[in-house]
């Protein structure tokens, strides 16, 4: 089996938590080079995964190695230049969400990828959570989706903003819920939203009613000033409903029966490892398989443009 040669840009805590261990399990992948500005993180990560070639300049890493793809795991407002350089060098590229700091950045990355024939992917991991995919498959089996809900609550009071405010909360974090609604419901036709500042002087609550082109209705409820983290989804079709907490379980009710089908997230994934039951292992595998097959991943940069457009519509379609 041909080995996919990967260069990693970023050796931070999140990359080490989910991406390095996932890629290290793939027998058809070789992490041949690593780059990070922090020399200590660079050396520690490279030593842990036996990566010989180490750089503090991503341009040198790209120029001095024959790579098939680059994983660029870094803050969204620092992504653009690195991604464009890799794409213009002909590399397939994986990045975490959000795909840049703005819709325009995302659109330009997608156009550059298309112009250079590159496979690209944004790590919208909720789509790849085994529990989510199995629940959606069951609901889809009963007919078109009629209604869906994405809830994302957190308590960030006193913690400040992500990236010191370089990117708003909906784009930087709530985009997970927005993208999942698109995945469940389809493409948006109309949006009415309520964007508010709760207990702080910046927007931290984003709620929206979305009408999708296929007739499905979607509801987004988010707030970063509530009691605790609650992240849940609903999927409804004719005679069937799925209520999903990706961290724990899904309960699927059908045909007015009192008892529902219960699936735990560990049962659905066959693992108790966070990276596997929460979709990171599966999304990395999907990207590698697409690179090997020469096809665009499900969450390509071009697809991410649509999610960023919906984010923008929610931010600006206030009631």
CATH number of the domain that residue 262 is part of: 3.30.360.10
Q: Do the domain assignments include residue 283?
A: no
Q: Do the domain assignments include residue 75?
A: yes
Write out the residue range of the structural domain in which residue 32 sits.
4-125
Residues 120 and 161 in one domain: no
Quick one: pLDDT at residue 317? Answer: 78
Total number of domains constituting the chain: 2
Quick one: pLDDT at residue 57? Answer: 98
Q: Do the domain assignments include residue 289?
A: no
- Cα of 30 vs its chain's centroid, Å: 23
Helices 175-185, 130-140: inter-axial angle, 10-degree rounding: 30
Of 125, 152, 186, at which residue does a domain stop?
A: 125
Residues 117 and 22 in one domain: yes
How far is 207 from 280, CA to CA, in rounded Å? Answer: 27
Quick one: pLDDT at residue 235? Answer: 98
Quick one: pLDDT at residue 222? Answer: 98
Residues 154 and 227 in one domain: yes
Residues 115 and 146 in one domain: no
Quick one: pLDDT at residue 319? Answer: 56
How far is 311 from 101, CA to CA, in rounded Å? Answer: 12
Residues 131 and 15 in one domain: no
Quick one: pLDDT at residue 1? Answer: 55
Task: Give per-10-residue mean pLDDT for the chain (319 aa).
Answer: 93 97 98 98 98 98 98 97 98 98 98 98 98 98 97 94 94 98 97 96 96 97 97 98 98 98 98 98 98 98 98 86
Of 102, 125, 148, at which residue does a domain stop?
A: 125
Among 246, 170, 183, residue whose Cα is nearest residue 216: 183
Residues 167 and 310 in one domain: yes
Residues 202 and 306 in one domain: yes
Q: Do the domain assignments include residue 74?
A: yes
Q: Do the domain assignments include residue 184?
A: yes
Residues 83 and 200 in one domain: no
Residues 19 and 142 in one domain: no
Of 125, 150, 179, at which residue does a domain stop?
A: 125
Quick one: pLDDT at residue 160? Answer: 84
Q: Do the domain assignments include residue 281?
A: no
CATH number at residue 78: 3.40.50.720
Quick one: pLDDT at residue 318? Answer: 63
């Amino acid at each position: 089996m041909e080995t996919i040669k990967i260069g990693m840009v970023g050796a931070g805590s999140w990359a080490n938590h989910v991406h390095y261990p996932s890629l290290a399990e793939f027998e058809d992948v070789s992490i041949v080079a690593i780059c990070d500005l922090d020399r200590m993180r660079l050396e520690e990560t490279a030593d842990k995964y036996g990566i010989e070639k180490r750089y503090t300049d991503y341009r040198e890493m790209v120029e001095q190695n024959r790579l098939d793809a680059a994983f660029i795991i870094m803050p969204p407002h620092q992504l653009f230049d690195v991604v464009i350089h890799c794409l213009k060098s002909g590399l397939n590229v994986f990045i975490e969400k959000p795909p840049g700091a703005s819709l325009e950045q995302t659109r330009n990355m997608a156009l550059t990828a298309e112009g250079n024939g590159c496979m690209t992917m944004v790590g919208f991991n909720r789509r790849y959570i085994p529990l989510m995919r199995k629940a959606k498959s069951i609901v889809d089996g009963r007919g078109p989706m009629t209604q869906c809900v994405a809830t994302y609550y957190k308590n960030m009071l006193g913690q400040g903003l992500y990236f010191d405010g370089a990117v708003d909360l909906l784009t930087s974090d709530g985009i997970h819920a927005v993208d999942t609604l698109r995945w469940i419901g389809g493409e948006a036709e109309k949006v009415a939203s309520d964007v508010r500042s709760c207990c702080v002087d910046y927007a931290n609550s984003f709620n929206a009613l979305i009408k999708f082109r296929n007739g499905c209705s979607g509801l987004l409820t988010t707030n970063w000033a509530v009691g605790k983290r609650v992240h849940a989804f609903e999927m409804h079709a004719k005679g069937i409903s799925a209520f999903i907490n990706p961290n724990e379980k899904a309960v699927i009710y059908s045909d007015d029966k009192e008892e529902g089908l219960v699936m735990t997230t560990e049962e659905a994934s066959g693992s108790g490892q966070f990276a596997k039951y929460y979709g990171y292992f599966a999304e990395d595998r999907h990207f590698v398989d697409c690179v090997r097959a020469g096809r665009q991943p499900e969450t390509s940069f071009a697809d991410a443009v649509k999610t960023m457009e919906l984010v923008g519509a929610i931010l600006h379609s206030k009631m």
